[in-house]
Chains A and B, each alone.
Chain A
Amino acid sequence: MEKLNDFYEAVSDTNNYVRNLKTSGKKVLGYLCSYTPEEIIFAAGIHPVRLFGTVGNITLADAHLQSYACSLARGVLESALSGELDYLAGMVFPHTCDTIQRLSDIWRLNTKFGFFADVVLPVKLNTESAKEYMEDILQKFRSDLEEGMGVTITDRALEESIEKYNRIRGCLKTIYELHSTDPDILTGSDLHAIVKGSMIMDRDYLLERLPEIIEMLKERKPSTGTGRKRIIMVGSICDHPDVYTIIEKSGGVVVWDDLCTGSRYFEGLTGTEGNPVKAIASRYIERQICPAKHISNTARGDGIVEIVRKNNARGVIFLLLKFCDPHYFDYPYMKGFLDREDIPSILLEIEDQLPSEGQLMTRFETFIHML
């Protein structure tokens, strides 16, 4: 879509985009996970940017991570060691999985970006003590950030930040909903650029642009329907806009997802009453869960069935990064829950690069014909 050039530029050359932001006077902190308390970083006047890592040609990271670490961990470490993240003033690691946990150590011991913080969030989210700990640890991060970056984060600034993030997340959700209602108004690759761009671009700029995009989408003429099969995508990160295009060419369309770089990023708004840090903690507890955390034994299985129903979808594609333990442990049971409801699914294992288009087309076409 022509009117999304700014998003495409930011996602295709993120380093260049963020370097320019830095030149204009912004400090930048990197992160990898949707449990990163961006609101706190933003309230400190710092620009949070999600990193996706170098694709292909891993050499420097090989000296620190075995081949059985996922491509995200290896790619991000490669980009840190190669110097291409020179614009970073620091890095924030919320506790996620075993691999990212060790990546954090390796990062701390082998890079020099200035600020560094582990935010060791609770792993279980279903008890009172875990909720209290979540608040405590976010509050600790707030002080660590104040001290480490030499800033003050007032409650007022936090409240403003939360309000802005709620608007950004609300806009992304609206765009997803408009697209789910009429998938022809926007290609999957456009939608990917918008959501990925929202984790990279200047947040105040997004606050102007996202509502414009919504207006533009609302003005589009409703399509007469192309009969494409409606699909849900599940996984951790999806940094492959091509995959959406290939699915579309194969007669399907992704109408919603359960991705860390998708709905898990924007689902759930933060409360605006009372203690702002407590409100951020509450959102993490209530939000759709990442498989590295625990809220109940069946939350993700029930969740995926509900997403399929709500979006009137026909099938599910699990797009999982090779070596991603939390997702691979959940896959058989989530598939089981879908099978029970007669919802077909397929698993696509990917590394940093997608298989060839021809190979993917064949797999997707076969699957989509079945639906």
Chain B
Amino acid sequence: MTDTDKEKSSRKIKSVGKMKEIMTAYYIDAKTAEQTGKKVAWITSGGPVEPLIAMDVIPVYPENYGAMIGASKMGGDLCEKAEELGYSGDLCSYARADIVSSMVDGGPIGGLPKPDMLICCNNICGTVLKWYEIQARYYNVPLFIFDTPFCHTEYADESRRYVRKQIDEYANFLENACKKKFDYDRMKEVGRLSVEGQNLWQEVLDTAMNKPSPMTCFDAFFHLALIVTLRGTQIAVDYYRSLLEEMKQRVANGISAIPNERYRLLWDNLPIWYRVRWMSEKFAAHDACLVADTYTSAWCGQLKYMDEDNFLDSMAEAYTRIYLNIGVDEMIKIVLEMVDKYDVDGFVMHSNRSCKPYSLGQYDIQRAVQKERGIPSVMIESHMIDERSFSESQAETRIDAFMEMIKQKG
């Protein structure tokens, strides 16, 4: 082992292995559901998963699979096939890849298990509605739409009533789909575990406030998987507890995420999944650590609305007021809070052609951050898992120029 290798390996987050084990077991469980008699529900990443867990339904996330497809650089090929089927290349690359993956058993694990039902919550975008309609036609299974009215400036009383009623409709839907009574007692326990898991995830992310930071947002993109897929389970709670321990230990031992952290940056939007490592190394070479991001905190940003003793009621509000379902001015407030909290020197924005609700409005956010905090920012454009859309040389030039600006300031 060379010195650099040793150095690298000492920085590696040990929990990675455990995470891989858990995810593998989870996917095996999901893929063998037919044999074990368990039901499988496909659900959107921002959707209320807790009632599924309470009903012993295995939740499967096409978006998580999209990320895996992207990280395996299999997105371009699947997206191209989608275009051959008539889906425009301007559409969300997760959706395009998933639609084709269903037909050809594509992607790193040879396709997702067939769903028994589909749960679509439109708090993240309107795209999921169209995407899940397509899958509902393809698999001919029931589709439940959890409709969360957009909160431009407020969570109106009208919306509050509407969303709350849908929680009962959701429970009824599950009773019909599973042919058993909704388990309200179990639901309480799942709700408690969900809140606990989210709290722990927030604490993990908070460790990046340390200087130097023990983790980067690229680490967060990876460790995010469980709070998305297994939220509401003991497995997620246990995992994040041990990850938090590891992070605290790293802080105590002075182990930083990158060798020489001189600049701290904030990331906006989903990752560019097929360039996560490249991006991470690129910034590290500039001694810049992306310490936080607006994306992974979306799975714990609504804790203030959650009440674990009254989970179902509070969940209505929490799921409606997530980061992507609020106005640009609200998003600006959150971004500014993160700039301060993590004490960052610059802002890296991924202008993601796959995600209009996340990306349209970014110019206004960028200007606000510039005006209010005076820190430099850079915008990099891509389709998050369609690697054909990415210009590495252009991104590189922009990142270099951006880092130059930061260095001159600092």
A contact residues vs B (CB 8 Å cutoff)? 63-66, 68-69, 73, 95, 97-99, 101-106, 108-110, 118, 120, 122-124, 127, 129-130, 132-133, 136-137, 140, 291-292, 294, 297-298, 322-323, 325-326, 328-333, 335, 347, 349
Contacts and interface: CB of A to CB of B under 8 A. Distances in A.
Contacts of B86: 331-332, 335, 347
22 contacts: A65-B363, A66-B381, A98-B125, A101-B152, A102-B328, A105-B364, A106-B361, A106-B364, A108-B327, A109-B364, A118-B150, A122-B162, A123-B122, A129-B162, A132-B161, A132-B165, A133-B158, A140-B156, A292-B126, A328-B88, A332-B86, A349-B88
Contacts of A325: 90-92, 126-127, 130, 356
Contact of B357 (A102, A122, A298): A102
B395 to A, nearest CB: 16
Contacts of B95: 329
B149 A95 contact: yes
A349 B86 CA distance: 12
B87 interface: yes
Contacts of B360: 65-66, 69, 73, 98-99, 102-103, 106
Q: How many interface residues does chain B have, given as a range?
A: 35 or more
Contact of A122 (B91, B147, B156): B147
Given A102-B360, A105-B364, 19 more contacts: A66-B363, A69-B360, A73-B360, A99-B360, A101-B126, A102-B328, A104-B152, A105-B152, A105-B329, A122-B162, A124-B145, A124-B147, A130-B147, A297-B137, A325-B90, A326-B126, A326-B130, A329-B87, A333-B137
A123 to B, nearest CB: 5
A97 B130 CA distance: 11
Contacts, number: 148
Contact of A140 (B134, B147, B158): B158
B158 to A, nearest CB: 4
Contacts of B362: 66
A108 B326 CA distance: 13
B357 A127 contact: no
B169 A127 contact: yes
Interface string B147-172: 10110110010110110011001000
Contacts of B351: 66
Contacts of A68: 90, 353, 356, 359
* A contacts with B: majority SS: helix
Given A98-B127, A140-B156, A105 B356 contact: no
A123 B91 contact: no
A66 B353 CA distance: 9
